[in-house]
């Protein structure tokens, strides 16, 4: 299943008893591998939920398994290193290897089964307020994610944009 990070933010996190525990704040992606490591929570004290503790991804909530633990960042050294790098994906500039500016990341998707970054949603802005030229870039086209932005292959792979907002016209000749 593909999960939009924009839709994931502030989604309720439920325990195995389906009672709310907290809300999702930020997704943690390893910039070197694209692996989804977990997410931070909204709470009086920010905690981390690692990806292995997620039992189910539901439309309106994330459900944790029986032995989940809300961890402190200090107990997760790899995640601590990544978070201290302060590399952000949403808002990152996306350029090709040859330097062509494609736009900024407005959303990205994670594959909840593979626990990987799966695609970037990139848009250019007109007058810094009007988005246009949306591109969905497949993760295999990503060369590097760093503090300065995201670099993709010159011949990046675009994923067709499928909109479920528009009603499908059913032919009166359909059987």
Q: Is the pLDDT of residue 24 over 90?
A: yes
98: left (phi over 0), alpha (psi -120 to 50) or beta: alpha
Q: Is the pLDDT of residue 120 over 60?
A: yes
What is the mean pLDDT of the segment spanning 48-61?
Answer: 94
What is the mean pLDDT of the segment spanning 133-155?
Answer: 91
What would the pLDDT profile of 97-115 be if each residue is shown by its tens digit? 999 999 999 999 999 999 9
What is the mean pLDDT of the segment spanning 42-58?
Answer: 89
Residue, of 87 and 45, whose pLDDT is higher: 87
Question: By the 8 A CB rule, do 9 and 24 touch?
Answer: yes
Domains of the chain, CATH where assigned: 2-85 (2.30.30.240), 93-152 (2.30.30.240)
Q: CB under 8 Å to 110, separation ≥6 — which residues?
A: 2, 3, 5, 8, 27, 29, 36, 116, 117, 118
pLDDT band for position 1 (cuts 50, 70, 90)? confident
pLDDT band for position 44 (cuts 50, 70, 90)? low
- Enclosing H/E stretch for 83: helix 77-85
pTM here is 0.82
**pLDDT recorded at residue 61:** 95
């Amino acid at each position: 299943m593909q999960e939009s990070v924009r839709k994931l933010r502030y989604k309720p996190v439920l325990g195995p008893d389906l009672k709310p525990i907290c809300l999702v704040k930020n997704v943690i992606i390893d910039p070197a591998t694209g692996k989804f490591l977990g997410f931070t929570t909204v709470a009086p004290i920010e905690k981390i939920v690692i990806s292995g503790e997620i039992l189910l991804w539901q439309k309106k909530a994330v459900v944790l398994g029986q032995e989940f633990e809300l961890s402190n960042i200090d107990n997760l050294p790899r995640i601590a290193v990544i978070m201290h790098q302060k590399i952000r994906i949403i808002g990152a500039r996306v350029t090709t290897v040859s330097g062509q500016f494609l736009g900024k990341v407005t959303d990205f998707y994670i594959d909840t089964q593979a626990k990987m970054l799966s695609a970037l949603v990139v848009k250019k802005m007109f007058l810094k307020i009007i988005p246009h030229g949306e591109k969905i870039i497949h993760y295999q086209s990503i060369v590097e994610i760093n503090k300065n932005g995201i670099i993709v292959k010159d011949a990046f792979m675009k994923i067709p944009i499928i909109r479920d907002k528009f009603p499908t016209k059913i032919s009166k000749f359909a059987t």
